[in-house]
Structure 1
């Protein structure tokens, strides 16, 4: 539980201060696509935990991730990897988890609902 709180604080700090750490290109993409305003904080945390730690994503948050869009999703992951707080992570592993998360959510949202 304590590690979740630590990561929650880190995510909040990163979301609010991350622009200072990011490259200009990622900042431009994020700003032009309004990426930081398209998801609620609870879903941001869920997605973050599923990619950078261990966790699953609810259907609701998968929906928000798909609405966020692949460009925003990929750019926000790249920007997170540029943050010195995450320098010990393996980028290839994180990017693979990011792609897997995106594909799983996309398949979930695109699949037909079971009928009653």
Structure 2
């Protein structure tokens, strides 16, 4: 019976400590890479709207998102999902939209310009 109590305590610790570690890890990544200063507010809003609601990103902001980098992009999306304001959103859908947005940016940046 005592081992069951120990197991229960370990599960509770894991469930409460895991999200805290994820938040700290994302915050660390964001701070170390200066993620919050790499894009201007208009492009941040375009990307946010595209990923968390419905919208599209301009070509200019696609380029800025690629400059931001995948590490920053992922950390910022994950940190936003950890915010209680977004608790009703489905993380699987948001992550899928985030990946699709990133891939669209890369495809646009990598495609040859018709004006070249």
Deviation at 1:24, TM superposition (A): 1.1
**Scaled by the length of structure 2, what TM-score is found?**
0.79
* Partner residue, 1:113: 113
Question: Which has the bigger relative contact order, CA under 8 A and spacing at least 6?
Answer: 1
Q: Does residue 94 of structure 1 match 2:94? A: yes
Q: Distance in 2 between matches of 1:47 and 1:110?
A: 19
SS at match of 2:56: coil
**Displacement over 6 Å in runs of 4+:** none
Deviation at 1:76, TM superposition (A): 0.2
Q: Distance in 1 between matches of 2:95 and 2:73?
A: 11
* Partner residue, 1:19: none
Deviation at 1:115, TM superposition (A): 3.1
Bigger Rg over Cα: 2
What's the Cα RMSD here?
1.1
Aligned residues: 95
**Scaled by the length of structure 1, what TM-score is found?**
0.79
Deviation at 1:80, TM superposition (A): 0.2
Structure 1 gap segments, 5+ residues each: 1-21
